[in-house]
Structure 1
């Protein structure tokens, strides 16, 4: 098939939705390549590859379990003891498409993910012991309208098998099947009102309670710890169906699901670029150096690198006043006590300067306009469109990272707790995954424009 015909075929493919890796801000560290990207479109396959549970086999020896699992197409093996294993046979389902996610680079995995390590500006993926399963989860999409997508824990390996060891949480179900949980679990959060409001009268997006999804797609309350053997309470009225804005956490990386309808309401990269031009057209000015500031394009950001640039907007996050990068250090810290003696004055001045230097090293400065003390950081536009609630003006900055977005986007993510580590949940910046400040997770930016 010619390249032009391939492109045309891809454009006509029915899209189920998109998965976004939070913390990448629009581009995977090192560049988007193949199955390792910051954003994935899930489209209807040329031929269905979904599977569904069928016959249950009971093996009374490890050797028998291996023979059974190898003799069938797909299977899930539940090891109950050293001598007994239940193998559930899965048969082809011509009505669904299956997409698998994990850190393995082997062929059964469609979407390769790595642990997101918080960097200075964007998520990083350094090499170290990963907490993400090699075959972490799978998403199954119906090939017919309304193209419902569901998430399930665990994925099939190269032998087309899912294996739950003796220590894994597992149990028989009421219909004669088996079910279980993976070691570190697959957590999901479905926002009840979606992610992007359909109209001005629609309810604002609100986060929901985190749940855990099983191998068979049942929903449970969270375990006491991430890897505890005892499962949570079964939530019979909840399902693994993905909604616009659903979050999937794989214990090391968090994915955002956007539906086709939701994507139609999100800002495009062209709109975000127009907002950048509009912001720069106001010619914001540094109150100290009196030079004009401008948010750079992606190309300019790459050229500037990590060194401070005179035109780059910086902000004092305690107050929101926007400046350019400058060397103002503040007036020091006031101390209690008498300073009538010359030696005491000298000592106090020395201590004050020491405290100022320490605060500067920590990234804390004193705003020359209002004397507020707090983080002083470079402002970076949030460029991952799918993480934006609306196409509003970039008027807020997350604290302490300095990523800039609309007010609605800042409000949503600052109220959405995301799994951090084994047991903690904290609001994070969706563009870099830095944990947000508890008391003031974002700040309204105050720009100074030229007097003319």
Structure 2
């Protein structure tokens, strides 16, 4: 292992080909100027290796760039017997990569103590936001900041903000002058003659992430309206959006336990939030200002966490300053609800965030570690198919299509009668013309009801356990574990401006039937 070099150690740099073979030599070596030594201890550069002259020979650190951003090749090369002769490059012995002895770990001495992103460390993940109504990706695929799930990682540099100076009784002109300063602010317009402006200052202990419909740069996660069962992005574009352009912001503590808190409204490209005359706003008991956005940001924290024992909590509204209130009579009513002082805006695993047009599920990093992976779901799919379930009418073997073809009906696709749960292959038996083809009669039990294809739920973040896919939501036919269907069937999700109903998390279809889901009855092979 390398030890910390003495203060008078000679630091050296060697450049080698980006994809060096074992027999390829270093292209050149040189002594680093003293001024560069400190910088090179903290920076990894492509195609370079850093080292120092050690006792008994030249000791070399190799750094390499991998396919996914900065990645350290974890090896330490020690070449004994070669004395470094100084600045005379011609007299430097040729150093072959094959001459190096490799060790498994790389000492931390190459990096300054204050370096926040050590290349060999995995970045800290605060959690993920998953949009309800999508089965693993957007209909036309995830692109850039517009996707079905968004991971919140610790930023290289803190960008959080916190309230500081309050300017009271400003004229609109004075308020505009304050807002034009190059720092964040929230303006509360009380009347045409009076505006209160709260300036926000940098907070080195937090990271800020913003969510909204806008595609402007301050928005980290672009969210559009969810249309139940939409198969393409064009299905959603014809709908007039009710999601705010700058809907909300999440502030994460940069230090353990990495607490995440949600606030209504996000800062625009000018770093401002404006609450106009018509927006609900008020002065708090301690003299501070607070307010609600037009359609509001609603949050529901599940009881008992996000597990198979979870129960739905109570929907609340979150204010611009992060206070918690009971719901307004309607989504955009002027009168705010009652303040709920014993609840906070702190997100927990399984918290739901509704932006009036789209609902997001918050999963913590710890919660995701307990969640089944896509590989696990694929293994369950293969296990079902290996059992060779059969259609009791055509006796043909049924098989769930691969997760990549989760929206295309396959000829072996299982279909289900939603009233009884009997699984068949597709057939025309029992189709009643007078019912316009919507209802079918099950050939096994003669019950009449909807007949739909079954789809595996591919978004692992929606699962509350790792149980087998034995149940399906009704009427969409998305299949997952019994505990998962039971949980989502009892969650009232906001719909429109003042109604709630349970919906399938994989497609956002409103659930139907007595329970909203059904147990599947498969026919095994006759042999």
Q: Normalising by structure 1, report the TM-score.
A: 0.89
**How many residues are treated as equivalent by the alignment?**
416
Hey, what's the Cα distance between the residues in 2 that align with 1:135 and 1:21? 17
Alignment partner, residue 69 of structure 2: 6
Aligned to 2:425: 324
Q: Which residue of 1 aligns with 2:93?
A: none
Alignment of 1:36-435 (within 5 A): 36-71=146-181, 73-119=183-229, 125-196=236-307, 204-301=309-406, 305-306=408-409, 309-330=410-431, 356-361=432-437, 363-435=438-510
The Cα shift of 1:129 comes to 1.2
Q: CA deviation at 1:65?
A: 1.2
- Give the TM-score taking structure 2 as reference length: 0.77
C-alpha contact 1:179 1:214 (8 A) present in aligned 2: yes
Question: Displacement of 1:72 after TM fit?
Answer: 5.0
How far did 1:329 drift? 2.5
Residue 58 of structure 1 deviates from its aligned partner by 2.3
- Point out the structure with max Rg over C-alpha: 2
Change (3 A) 1:52 1:438: farther
Cα distance change, pair 378–30 in 1 and its aligned pair in 2 (3 A): same
1:340 corresponding residue in structure 2: none
Paired residue secondary structure (2:269) = coil
1:37-75 superposed Cα distances (whole Å, 9 cap, x missing partner): 111110100000000111110244221110011125100
Q: Which secondary structure state, in structure 1, belongs to the residue aligned with residue 337 of structure 2?
A: coil
Q: Hey, what's the Cα distance between the residues in 1 that align with 2:230 and 2:167?
A: 52
Q: Distance in 1 between matches of 2:307 and 2:515?
A: 24
Q: 92-101 or 120-129, which moves further after superposition?
A: 120-129
For structure 1, the 5+ residue unaligned runs are 198-203, 331-355
Q: 1:437 corresponds to which residue?
A: 512
- Contact in 1 for aligned 2:406/2:456 (Cα 8 Å): no
Structure 1: distance between partners of 2:241 and 2:293: 15
Alpha-carbon separation, structure 1, partners of 2:519 and 2:225: 31
Once residues 264 and 54 of structure 1 are traced to their aligned partners in structure 2, the CA distance between those partners, rounded to angstroms, is 37
CA separation of 1:55 and 1:125: change in aligned 2, threshold 3 A: same
Q: How far apart, CA to CA, are the structure 1 residues paired with 2:500 and 2:162?
A: 33
Task: Assess, with a 3 A threshold, how the Cα gap between structure 1 residues 11 and 291 changes in structure 2: closer, same or farther.
Answer: farther
Q: Deviations over 1:74-121 (max 9, x none)?
A: 000000001100000101110000000000000000000000001266
Instruction: Compute the displacement of 1:128 (Å).
Output: 2.7
- The offset of 1:360, in angstroms, is 4.2
> Structure 2: any 5+ residue segments left out of the alignment?
1-44, 47-64, 72-118
CA RMSD of aligned residues (A): 1.7
Any idea what the Cα deviations from partners look like across 1:286-335, whole Å, max 9, x if unmatched? 01111000001034446xx35xx3310000000000000001125xxxxx
Structure 1 pair 205–296 and aligned structure 2 pair: CA distance change class (3 A)? same
Tell me the equivalent position of 2:81: none
Q: Distance in 2 between matches of 1:45 and 1:263?
A: 20
